[in-house]
Structure 1
Amino acid sequence: MARKRTPSPAAAESGISPEVAWYMEERGIPLPDCPPRFQTPSPREAPGAVFDPERVDRVLRAFHLLRHTQGKWAGKPLDPDPWQVAYILAPVFGYVRWDDEAEGYVRIVRKLYVEVPRRNGKTTLSGGIAVYLMAGDGEAGAQVYAVATNERQARFTFDPIRQIAERAPALKGNVKAFTKKITHPASGSYFTVVSSIAEAMHGANVHGAIIDELHVHKTPDLVETVETGTGSRRQPLVVTITTADDSRQGSIYDRKRGYVEQLARGALTDPDTYGVVWGADPDADPFSEDTWRAANPGYGVSPSAAYLRGAAAEARQSPADLAKFLRLHLGLRTKQETKYLQLEDWDRNASMVDEQRLAGREAYGGLDLSATSDLTSLCWLFPDDERGGFDAVWRVWTPEERLKDLDKRTAGEASVWVRQGLLHLTPGNVVDYDFIKAQIERDMDAFDVRSLGYDPWNASQLTNDLMELGAPMVKVRQGFATMSPPTKELQRLLLAGTAERPLLRHGGNACVRWQVDNFAVAMDPAGNVKPAKDKAGDKIDAVAALITALSEAMTREQPVRSAYEDGGLEVV
């Protein structure tokens, strides 16, 4: 065991613990100069922590016995890069503490989170760790899993690791590789894929797991099932290696990334979890080589400077390619594939909306009935000829049996919205349209409703019932020709509005804000846009209802006075 050491200035500046810096100097491994953007406290801070260099030696020897399988390095030893040793392998495998139940020293870190841009060796790193946990960790009957969301992702995750195991000369006769499983007969251990909760529960005695690309997991269920299956192991290790996501709120990625940031800031303490996140400073020049180097610890080797220059050249040509470049190569969480609405613009226009003062006011509505089993939204817009722009009020419904799922996707915020009256529950597992009809009747009594737009493609008995009640129902088709003008108008209102003179006053509705953050658009060759639910991070029904209402409000004979009339913004 290594004694506690005093950090050298170079190691401290790079975020490398004194013991790891000593280890690298002793083994002749150069110190890297690519510190992560976020790094949780070193495992050395845990009570009883000691550093065991021989454990790190064993891991590096195991990696050396493996072989690269692709490109110019094919056939060469899978020796980790210095940054991988300094920031990942040595801290995770080197720091141990005494465990009375195990009657020996065990690893401190049980959950490892690594976020790094594409082409920085995620596959080879995770492959080496997976093979080591199966065949070199000294765990009898080790069950190690690649955690995937479906069969296709399972192939991307498992196949490269199987090739590494198959092509390592030192493993011949020691491991057996099959289509979906690798076995180590001497220890009774195996490595395989799970892509469903049922498969994960079948094992339920997890020693190790590799979760690749966490952001593709739409729900936390499978990941959490694997994590909770480690309870009977002495020193389990669940490894999450991922790139950045598109900023979906409430996702399993969002929760784990946020947790690592909290640990890095010192807001929380959890010595069992160790995380490193590489990414560019959001304010840095995305086309600067210094920015590329800061975001990519493997810069110059993998990815190469030439590769990033080519990717950057593509990013200069279109917003969609830029968003992809920022996320995949600079580690920045982008909002959606094609950015259209910015949260800062939305928040700037919040203002106050007093529904009681809207009584009797001229109103235009938009009704989105696209998802009877999830969210249904109604938006009322009230033109204001004196202040300019609109006041907006929403009604959003979800079936009560869907609330639990919605809570998972919003980190528990959905239940808060219910308590705040921003989200209304209807009985059962589908939205009860009788509740919506009753609310629209009340709104028609309270407001001067001029029209209520709806998508005829999703027309239902509800729309027929509303027509019989005398509601001024108007078909608003959802194609580019109809949706592009109000979608662009929404963007212009938000851009032109200021905190002093907001043009779309929405009162800061948190349920709608979540959907604005999810919002994405589709664009045709002519530059027309429309809401794109298939590209959105999650639900955008409330925004779709707003755009439908705005489509109706734009038909007013008396134009709404706005900032555009004084020449402050040119409309093209």
Structure 2
Amino acid sequence: MATRTRSAAREEDRSASSAEVPTAFLPPAEELERLKLSPEVAWYLVSRGIALPDCPPRWKTPEPRDVVDAAFDPDRVDHVLASFRQLRHTQGRLAGLPLIPDPWQVAYILAPVFGWVRWDEDAEAYVRIIRTLYVDVPRKNGKSTLCGGIAIYMACADGEQGAQVVTAATSERQAGFVFNPIKTLAAKSRALARFVKALAKKVIHKPSGSTIEVVSSAADAQHGANIHCGVVDELHVHKTPDLLEAIETGTGSRTQPLIVIITTADSGRRETAYDRKRRLVEQLASGVLVDETTYGVIWCADPEADPFAEATQRAANPGYGISPTRAYLRSKANGARNSPAELAAYQRLHLGVRTKQETKYLTLVSWDRNAGAVDEDALTGREAFGGLDLASTSDLIALCWLFPDDGGYDALWRLWTPEENVANLDKRTAKAASRWVKEGLLLTTPGNVADYDFVQAQIEQDIETFDVASLGYDPWNATQLTNNLSAAGAPLVKVRQGLQTLSPPLKEVQRLLLAGREDRPLLRHGGNPAVRWQVDNLSVHTDPAGNVKPDKARSAEKIDAVSSLVTAMSEAMGRAPTRRSAYADEGAELTVI
């Protein structure tokens, strides 16, 4: 029965398959890439007479085109848009008119989220692939209306019986901002009048028994949780991630739930609920992480662009000229121009710029440019300098080997984690950690604490394989492992982790990456994705004299692989202060001050 149902459903959706998408009348591939439109979505827009928008987001995660059994179903998108048109605008010059999403909302939000489906064996049907939608866009670009339309669709038209749709608010005042537009849209729709009952704090869809209501605490979200859709407006005002996490974990029993996060930018504070979600989307968009169930778009201006230029305003505001209007943005720009105190607010609220966001010391552009190819077998017998980071026995341990060659270096990493920590890493890497384990890029040791015997065995094997000149490590984290390696004759060197020691090698790493080219990379690393994730996490500490070092406390996530690289570079450079004996009776162990 399941096979027959699957076959029938597949036959019905053949026209929706990505392999069947017509390409006639579509712009060339280069133009689609500039617009950040997939061929499927572009075809949908053209076939429905919807203009292709020319306002691509600065960041856009990949659409789930490569998921097994994935198909783009245009009928589902049609259904969403038809449902939106049954609603009516409630404010301003559009009040009373049908709620017709703008082309950019269809192209970059509604079509990707509701169009991409895959076959689900348990449901014996096609279900949505995307389970989390993140939209980061400046004010006055129709966020509340879009939130309302999605919430009402998920409760009243998604075909889910007893759907629980919740909207998240951190206070009674914010609850009004979030829920009132939804209630008003539902109450004023003639098409819904017979089916919907709008109460003070709840909207009820009578035929399906579905509801829309506000939750303002994790306890509220967890109470009887069987959430089909959660709408989180203005994530940046949430002081903790508790409410969002409660909503996310409350969707487990639904076949195709959807979490919708629509927000403006924050000021750049680290380790907030907003910061974590924003960074995740940026990492997915840049290919550092992979998660087909999460889709995000971020509109924001280049922080280096002229904040008052029309081109900058256009780039940050996909609804430019309609909502927000030109006059509105001009007035906000004039206020910011005449008042430095208003400039930061203007940049954040109307250009999407995180005003306190730090500049990346090592950029992914330069890192990727230097990937090159690293053949471990070809490294046998070559001179090597090592860096060992033992900062966390319950999370990651990193070992980096640098092999000088032709004015640059080949870099090779060994990464370990306790096997019981992989699930925790998966949560922080959009499930990439399990993939790294399968690919042999991340090695596991039994239990919940790193087994140093595995690390020691690998280091001793590497010393036999490579011509190891020295292996640097942080003496603050000295363990029995370093004592054992020293006793075995390993050329260990204590490398202090202060600015004086780490600034020259970190600056050298930056110099090599900036100077390297694709045809002549100077720090060849092979594109190791587990290391790339940590490079993207890096924050640095800088003193008044311009000295720098990796800053684990301020970095968004793990940077152990980068720390081991910098320690190895300290050894490889040969420009550190003169090495001296650490102990008279331990001639194999040296120290770098």
Q: Which residue of 2 aligns with 1:505?
A: 524
Unpaired runs of 5+ residues, structure 2, are 1-40, 66-71, 115-127, 188-196, 266-273, 579-593
Displacement of 1:166 after TM fit?
8.0
Displacement of 1:380 after TM fit?
1.8
Q: Which residue of 2 aligns with 1:347?
A: 368
1:161 aligns with 2:203: no
1:45 aligns with 2:67: no
Q: Deviations over 1:522-552 (max 9, x none)?
A: 3333322221334434322111100011122
Unpaired runs of 5+ residues, structure 1, are 1-11, 22-30, 65-72, 96-107, 148-153, 177-181, 263-267, 316-320, 560-572
Q: Which residue of the other structure, out of 483, 487, 512, is the alignment partner of 2:506?
A: 487
The amino acid across from 1:529 in the alignment is V
Q: Which residue of 1 aligns with 2:88?
A: 60
The amino acid across from 1:241 in the alignment is I
SS at match of 1:203: coil
Distance in 2 (alpha carbons) for counterparts of 1:381 and 1:168: 58
Distance in 1 (alpha carbons) for counterparts of 2:457 and 2:133: 49
Identity, in percent, stands at: 44
1:444 aligns with 2:479: no
Q: Which residue of the other structure, out of 179, 192, 196, is the alignment partner of 2:214?
A: 192
Distance in 1 (alpha carbons) for counterparts of 2:402 and 2:220: 49
Q: Deviations over 1:420-465 (max 9, x none)?
A: 4322111112221221122222233344434332223333333333
Distance in 2 (alpha carbons) for counterparts of 1:257 and 1:420: 20
Q: Which residue of the other structure, out of 283, 289, 305, is the alignment partner of 2:330?
A: 305
Q: Deviations over 1:8-59 (max 9, x none)?
A: xxxx99x9899998xxxxxxxxx99876658999x99307956997x65764
Whether the 8 Å CA contact 2:221–2:243 is kept in 1: the answer is no
Structural mapping, 1:159-558, within 5 Å: 159-162=173-176, 175=199, 182-183=201-202, 191-193=213-215, 200=221, 202-206=223-227, 208-212=229-233, 225-231=249-255, 238-242=259-263, 251=280, 277=297, 279=299, 287=307, 288-299=309-320, 302=324, 304-308=329-333, 337-384=358-405, 387-555=406-574
Provide the TM-score with structure 2 as the length reference: 0.60
Whether the 8 Å CA contact 1:220–1:408 is kept in 2: the answer is no
The amino acid across from 1:45 in the alignment is P
Displacement of 1:499 after TM fit?
3.9
RMSD, matched Cα: 5.8
Whether the 8 Å CA contact 2:133–2:296 is kept in 1: the answer is yes
Which one is further off, 241-250 or 486-495? 241-250
Q: How many residues align?
A: 476
Distance in 2 (alpha carbons) for counterparts of 1:164 and 1:341: 39
Whether the 8 Å CA contact 1:366–1:549 is kept in 2: the answer is yes
The amino acid across from 2:232 in the alignment is I
The amino acid across from 2:561 in the alignment is A
SS at match of 1:304: helix
Distance in 1 (alpha carbons) for counterparts of 2:129 and 2:526: 45
The amino acid across from 2:481 in the alignment is L
SS at match of 2:227: coil
SS at match of 1:351: coil
Whether the 8 Å CA contact 1:111–1:237 is kept in 2: the answer is yes
Distance in 1 (alpha carbons) for counterparts of 2:520 and 2:294: 46
The amino acid across from 2:490 in the alignment is A
Q: Which residue of the other structure, out of 165, 169, 185, is the alignment partner of 1:144?
A: 165
Q: Deviations over 1:300-354 (max 9, x none)?
A: 7657335457779999xxxxx9xx96x97556999x7321222332233333434
Q: Deviations over 1:193-226 (max 9, x none)?
A: 3766x86554333354203467997999756544
Distance in 2 (alpha carbons) for counterparts of 1:368 and 1:219: 35
Change (3 A) 1:79 1:393: farther
Distance in 1 (alpha carbons) for counterparts of 2:557 and 2:133: 24
Q: Which residue of 2 aligns with 1:567?
A: none
Displacement of 1:370 after TM fit?
1.7
